[in-house]
Amino acid sequence: MDTALPIENLERYHSASQRARVATEAWASANLYCVNCDSPRLEPTPANFHATDFHCPKCRDPFQLKGQSKPFGNRIVDSAYSKMMAAIISDRAPHFVLLHYAPDRWRVLNLLLIPHFAIPKSAIEKRKPLSDTARRAGWIGCNIVLTSVPDIARVPIIVNGVAEKPSDVRRRFRHVRPLAELTVEERGWTLDVLTVVRSLRRTQFALDDVYAREDKLSRLHPDNRHVRDKIRQQLQVLRDKGLVEFLGRGSYRLR
């Protein structure tokens, strides 16, 4: 994986943002590989004017590229809130590939994969409607809140300008892929409980440690009054999916 962005023929684009978009899309076409199978390439999806959409020619998994010149913060700006929510609910969201580049050196510094099945509804944040004076007044966009995606499901592909080995990237992806088998409704709970468990920052933990975060889960699921039952149930789901190990007597270990 070459981290240099292609800069040939960029002078015909007037704005810096256009040049950046063209360069990052060209880079993605030449360098992105599939994480779900062994395909060494992804293809731009036709029918899209902006080639930010890619798919795997082999397994057909869809990917969406999001480039930015600033380091990743907690939030990634996405498009329309209603469109993103509909995609999550119907399980049609693409995997997101977040690209952070150095605009002065035309280099990819960081590349992060967020699998579509790792984004719970709770990670989609509604933005303020555009003001009345805006061209698209009233339009509501959204943010993807990265800290609401379990850390284990944020898969680094390039870190500080150094590409990870594709075999390592695919291994990390495979580790969380069993979450894709869950229904969207259940997966939301599973991901939220996994985020809470991983935020304990301990390999071994007790049921009481998770119960102590009951409030956070209640806020995310205000309609459910049996949060403790749900926590126990989701720990079993996480065990079945190979992400948590039961040690007995209310004790658990992350895998």
Site residues (vs Zn ion, CB under 5 A):
34, 36-37, 39, 56, 58-59
**Is the Cβ of residue 35 or residue 197 nearer to Zn ion in the bound state?**
35
Q: How far apart are CA 18 and CA 53, in angstroms?
A: 16
**Is the Cβ of residue 54 or residue 81 nearer to Zn ion in the bound state?**
54
Task: Output the smallest distance, CB 195 to Zn ion, in A.
Answer: 26
Task: Output the smallest distance, CB 113 to Zn ion, in A.
Answer: 13
The alpha carbon torsion through 216, 218, 222, 223 (nearest 10 deg) reads 150
The alpha carbon torsion through 123, 177, 249, 226 (nearest 10 deg) reads 40
β pairing state of 204-206 and 162-163:
unpaired
Which 8-state DSSP code applies to residue 35? Answer: S
Tell me if residue 183 falls in helix, strand or coil: coil
Q: Output the CA–CA distances (angstroms, integers) from residue 89 to 14, 124, 160, 188, 230, in the order listed.
A: 39, 11, 34, 10, 20
**Is the Cβ of residue 32 or residue 34 nearer to Zn ion in the bound state?**
34
Task: Output the smallest distance, CB 61 to Zn ion, in A.
Answer: 5
Task: Output the smallest distance, CB 166 to Zn ion, in A.
Answer: 12
Task: Output the smallest distance, CB 41 to Zn ion, in A.
Answer: 10
| Cα atoms in the Cβ-side hemisphere of radius 13 Å centred on 43 | 9
Q: Indicate the angle between helix axes 227-240 and 184-199, nearest 10 degrees.
A: 90
**Is the Cβ of residue 59 or residue 134 nearer to Zn ion in the bound state?**
59
**Is the Cβ of residue 36 or residue 122 nearer to Zn ion in the bound state?**
36
- Token pair, residue 7, equals 């800069």
- Token pair, residue 215, equals 């409030």
**Is the Cβ of residue 36 or residue 148 nearer to Zn ion in the bound state?**
36
Q: How far apart are CA 219 and CA 232, in angstroms?
A: 18
Task: Output the smallest distance, CB 94 to Zn ion, in A.
Answer: 13
